Amino acid sequence: MSAAYKPVTWNVVKLAYDAVLVIAVGLYIYLFIHVAPAYDRVTLYDDEGMTKVAAFGSCAFLMFTFILCIGPLARLDPRFLPLLYNRRHFGVLTAAMAAMHAEYVIEWYFDYGHMSRWVEFLIGNTSYGQVLGFPFELFGLFALIVLLVMAATSHDFWLRFLTPPVWKAIHMAAYIAYASAVIHIALGHLQSAYNPVFLVCFVIGVVSVCVLHALAARLDGRVEKSPAVDAVGAQWVEAGRVGDIAEGHGLVVVLTEGERVAIFRHGGRLSAISNVCAHQNGPLGEGLIVDGCVTCPWHGYQYRPEDGCAPAPYTEKLSTYRLRLAGDRILLDRHANPPGTYVEPVTIGGG
Amino acid sequence: MQRLHRQAHARIWMVLALLLPAIIVLALVIRQNGPTEAPPVRLSAPQGSP
């Protein structure tokens, strides 16, 4: 983990970020409920409860859309990285907005029967055999459950307890939840809405998320497939040329077994460590050398390139790899050393 | 260690990038619109109501 950057504990940046977030969301809700109706000549809600349903629902969806844009934006342009570092609180607030939306929906539509309002909610619409009129509420309920699970497991305790691969797999359910939210809106609000503002925002948001993720996936392919690794004997493989790596940068090499190795050039030397960050499996090879350490582009976790160890007081360790130079060709030992093993860096032009 | 979630991520978004716009288009196609020419008819209150 980074000794300079504190992504989990509270700091001034995080406090400022959260303050801006809460003020922006509060302002949106206030304007939607108290100011916008005075200018709306198209969609007039009959009751303040309906207005609150629309306010919290639209806010939750727009926030969800923005959250999903942060990841690819940060990969395409490092200036968005501060948003990525503090994304968790954004997600928790989104889950809270979605829960408020659900609460107002239940209160407005399902709180007048003899049965429990949740039972009314689940059996109130059974038109499963048709597209128009399909119980779209269930898609919203699924998205809400996923958001709440993600919010509940967002703390680093759960990351360590579940291990990064399992935690990451659980949190990738956000994509399915987003698709579910899109269906929820498309079959619900979109069928009765006559105000074009939300429709335009909705379409632009969904298309932006799709395009940004497609662009980021394309970038992944470029970064990880180049250069091709050619076998040089059973143990050593050619990983590229010295000129392929700029000072302070890394090069990601994909071995034939699927393992990814990040080779870094630092102070005129080369070192190789696993490309997978111990925190959330971020792509280390796309990070930079900061203060002599490989710094993960996702959350700023740091590792010494020589031994793959996080600087004190942190204890994360990564596998290291041996390197050799043959002229300007970089040769990589395909067998990983145990995490934390020191490997003498190769000096460029050192013979 | 391999980064399998990155491959899964790319595959999921390849599907969603086609699916989500298709859902929106479908929702707009099946959307029902009321008649625009007919004026709204105001219902009179029942006799004897306050």
Task: Clarify whether residues A283 and A206 are in a common domain.
Answer: no
Task: Clarify whether residues A128 and A219 are in a common domain.
Answer: yes
Please indicate if any CB of chain B lies within 8 Å of the CB of A338: no
Considering the domain boundaries, does residue A325 fall inside one? yes
d(Cα A269, Cα A278) in Å, to the nearest integer? Answer: 24
Please report, in angstroms and rounded to a whole number, the separation of the first and last CA atoms in chain A.
34
Contact predicate A276/A285, CB 8 Å? no
A213–chain B nearest CA distance, Å: 7
Considering the domain boundaries, does residue A121 fall inside one? yes
Task: Clarify whether residues A186 and A237 are in a common domain.
Answer: no
Considering the domain boundaries, does residue A138 fall inside one? yes
| Model pLDDT, residue A207 | 95
Of A182, A221, A283, the CB nearest to B20: A182
Q: Could you give the angle at the alpha carbon of B26 between the alpha carbons of A122 and A59, nearest 5°? A: 60
Residues of A in contact with B6 (CB under 8 A): 220, 283
Residues 20-59 of A with CB under 8 A from B: none
Task: Clarify whether residues A30 and A177 are in a common domain.
Answer: yes
Count of CB pairs separated by less than 8 Å, A with B: 83
Of A105, A181, A173, nearest to A143 by C-alpha is A181
* Residues B23, A183: C-beta atoms closer than 8 Å: yes
Domain closes at, from A224, A244, A259: A224
Q: What is the DSSP string of A195-224?
A: -HHHHHHHHHHHHHHHHHHHHHHHHHHHHH
Task: Clarify whether residues A178 and A48 are in a common domain.
Answer: yes
Three-state SS at A322: coil
Please indicate if any CB of chain B lies within 8 Å of the CB of A321: no
| Model pLDDT, residue A5 | 46
* Residues B5, A187: C-beta atoms closer than 8 Å: no
Of B3, B13, B24, the CB nearest to A214: B13
Considering the domain boundaries, does residue A5 fall inside one? no
Considering the domain boundaries, does residue A6 fall inside one? no
pLDDT, one tens digit for every residue, chain A (351 residues): 555 444 456 678 788 888 999 999 999 999 999 888 877 666 556 677 888 999 999 999 999 999 999 988 988 887 887 888 778 899 999 999 999 999 999 988 887 778 888 888 888 888 888 888 889 999 999 999 999 999 999 988 888 888 888 888 889 999 999 999 999 999 998 887 777 888 899 999 999 999 999 888 777 666 554 444 555 556 888 888 888 898 999 988 888 777 889 999 998 999 999 998 888 778 888 888 988 999 988 778 899 999 999 988 888 899 999 998 888 889 998 888 999 999 999 998 765
* Residues B5, A182: C-beta atoms closer than 8 Å: no
Domain hosting residue A246, numbered range: 230-347
Task: Provide the whole-model pTM.
Answer: 0.75
* Residues A213, B23: C-beta atoms closer than 8 Å: no
Considering the domain boundaries, does residue A57 fall inside one? yes
Domain closes at, from A224, A243, A276: A224
A337–chain B nearest CA distance, Å: 12
Residues of A in contact with B25 (CB under 8 A): none
Considering the domain boundaries, does residue A259 fall inside one? yes
Considering the domain boundaries, does residue A141 fall inside one? yes
Task: Clarify whether residues A301 and A274 are in a common domain.
Answer: yes
* Residues B9, A186: C-beta atoms closer than 8 Å: no
A302–chain B nearest CA distance, Å: 17
The strand pair at A260-266 and A269-274 is best described as: antiparallel
Nearest CA in chain A to B29: A191
Three-state SS at A28: helix
Please indicate if any CB of chain B lies within 8 Å of the CB of A197: no
| Model pLDDT, residue A224 | 57
* Residues A203, B24: C-beta atoms closer than 8 Å: yes
| Model pLDDT, residue A281 | 78
Please indicate if any CB of chain A lies within 8 Å of the CB of B20: yes
Of A249, A263, A255, A270, nearest to A348 by C-alpha is A270
Task: Clarify whether residues A220 and A238 are in a common domain.
Answer: no
Q: Which two tokens stand for residue A22?
A: 């809460």
Of A179, A191, A260, the CB nearest to B16: A179
Domain closes at, from A184, A207, A224: A224
Task: Clarify whether residues A35 and A128 are in a common domain.
Answer: yes
| Model pLDDT, residue A50 | 86
Task: Clarify whether residues A194 and A133 are in a common domain.
Answer: yes
> What's at B38, amino acid-wise?
A
